[in-house]
Structure 1
C-alpha cells in the first residue's frame, strides 16, 4: 500500500511538472511568430506634416528680424481671426516660434481618434518650453488634410543663461504633444479587397517564405497560402470582414521555424560600433597591427634686435615633429566556427573599435572573413 501511494504521488508530481513546463520552458531560438516576420501588404502607417506657430513662450521665440516668415505667418493667422495689422507695423515678438509638426497616421485610424505629434523649431527659437501649438493642419503626400493638431508642448529639457554663461540640459527646440492631433480622414486599405491578401516578409529569404506558407497550410488546410517569391506570400481569405479578422488573429501567432540568418557584420564608421550576428565565422589568418602617430609641437621664439639698432622684435615659431610607430607582432588567428571564438580572436589583437574597422575590411579582402561586411 505504501508503494502504491508513493507511485501515485510521483505520478501526480510528474503531471504537475509537465503541465507547468509550457509556462517556463524556453521556445526554440529560431522560432518566431508570423507577426514578427511579416506584415500585410498595403496596411501601413502614413507620414503627416504641417507648418504651424507655437505661442506663449517666455521670450525664447524666434527673432522676427532674422525669421520674417514667422511674422508673415502670424499676420495671416490674425487676419483669419478677424484682426488686421496696419501695414508697416514692426512687430518685435519674442513669444512666437515657427515650427514643423509631424505625426504618423497608423493603419485603420478613423476620424475622431487621437494620435501623438512631434513639434520641431523651424527658426532660431532658443526654447519651446511652455509653448502652445495653435491649430495646425497635418497633410499627407497627396496634399489632403488628415489630422488637426493643437495643444501644449512637453519639452524634455531645461536651460538657463546669465552674464554670458549658458547651461542646457537635453534638447529645447523640439517637443511632443501626446494625443495632440485628431484624425479627420481615414486612409483606405486593400484589407477587404479581393479574395486574398499578400504578406510582405521583413527580409528577403526563400526559406522563411516557404516556412510561412507551410505553417499557414498546416493550420488552415492545404492550398490556403502560397509563396510567390522570397519576400511575399499570398493567403486566401474569407469574404466577410469578421471572418477575416478571426482568420488573421489565428495565423499571426503561428510559430515559424526561421533558418539562421546570413552572416553579416554591420560597421558604423562614424561611431566605431561593430555588430555581428551568430553566423559569422573566421578562417585561419595572420594579422599584424601597429599604431602610427604623428605629434607636432609648436614653440614661439622671440628674436630681439641688438641695442641701438634699427631692427624690430620678431616672433617666430619652432616646430618639433615626432613620428611614433608602435611595433605590432604578427598574431596567428585560428579558424572560429562560433561567435565567441571570433570575438576572442579579435580581442587578441588589442585594437580599438576604430582600428577594428580597418582590420575587418582587410580580413574580408583576404578571404578570411566569412561574412557580409556592411558599413553604415
Structure 2
C-alpha cells in the first residue's frame, strides 16, 4: 500500500534484482543450521562440547584397576582419585550488527546480501578459532587466572605453578614445576619437536587411546619442520628422533631415501595436512602466531579443551536474530553467538615457543 505518494514497507519485499526477502531469510537460516552442525574443524577436533559451567575431570588416563574376584568377596569400590579436578569454563556473548533497513534491502542486489552473510560466517569461524588458540597458548599466572560466573577457576595447561602436580601414568611420576609451556631456548630443532610430542603422550594422551597427535603451526614455522631429519645433532648434543615425511597428497619430489610405513593422509577431519613428524600430523594455519607450535591430542572425550555453549539448545551456535517486523524478519536483524573455551585435560596439549629466551611468553590473540 502507499500513503501520500510514498511507498511503505508493505510494497517493498524484494531486493533490486527481484529476490524475495523471506526466501533470503530462509536460505541464511539453512546455512547457519549447517554451520552449527559441523562447527569448525579445529573446534571439533580440539574440544568436547558441554553446556556445563564446570566439570570434575580426571587428569590422568587408566588409573582405575580391576581386582581378581572371589566367590564370596565384594569388589572394592572405585575411589575418587586425587587427579580429579574441577575446571571452570568461561562464557561470553558476541554479536555483529549489519543494520539491514528496509530501504537498504529494497535497493541492494541479493548477491551483495549473500556476500555480507558469507563474510559473517568467515568472521564467526575466525572468532571460534581464535578462542581455541587463546585457550591453548595463553599461560596465565596463578594469581591472575580468570574465574567463571560461579567463581570456578579457568585453568591453563599444566604450567608448573600449581600446588598439585600431574598424576603419574604408566609408572612415571612427574615432579612439581612440570610445565606444558616451553621454549626452544635457541634455534628450533628436531629435538624440540620430539620433546613437545612426548610432553603429551607421556601422560597417556594420543594414539594409544584412539586419538591423533596434531601439530598446529603457522606455515612459516612449519617450513622449518620440513627440514627435520632423524639423527640431526642439536646444539645441546641431542639427536632428532624422527623425519619429516610429506603427506600423501604432497607435490612430487625427488629423494634418495626410502619411506618406510604409511604417509600421513592429505587431510585429517577437514584439516589439510602438510606431512608428519613422528606421531604427529602437521596442520598449518595463517591464524596461528608465527613462532608457536601446539601439540594436541585430538578428538573424543580426552580432548584438551571444552567448548561451552548455552544450556538452552535454541541459543547455541551462530544465530541470526530477526528484527521487529514479523512479516520481514531480515529487517534490522543481527547475528549473535554465545560460547566459551576452557581447558579440561591439562596434559592433552603442549605448546612450544621458538625463541632464544628461556621464559615462555603468551602471544596476543584478538
TM norm structure 1: 0.19
More strand by share: 1
TM norm structure 2: 0.19
The structure with more radius of gyration: 1
> RCO greater where, 1 or 2, for CA within 8 Å and sep 6 or more?
2
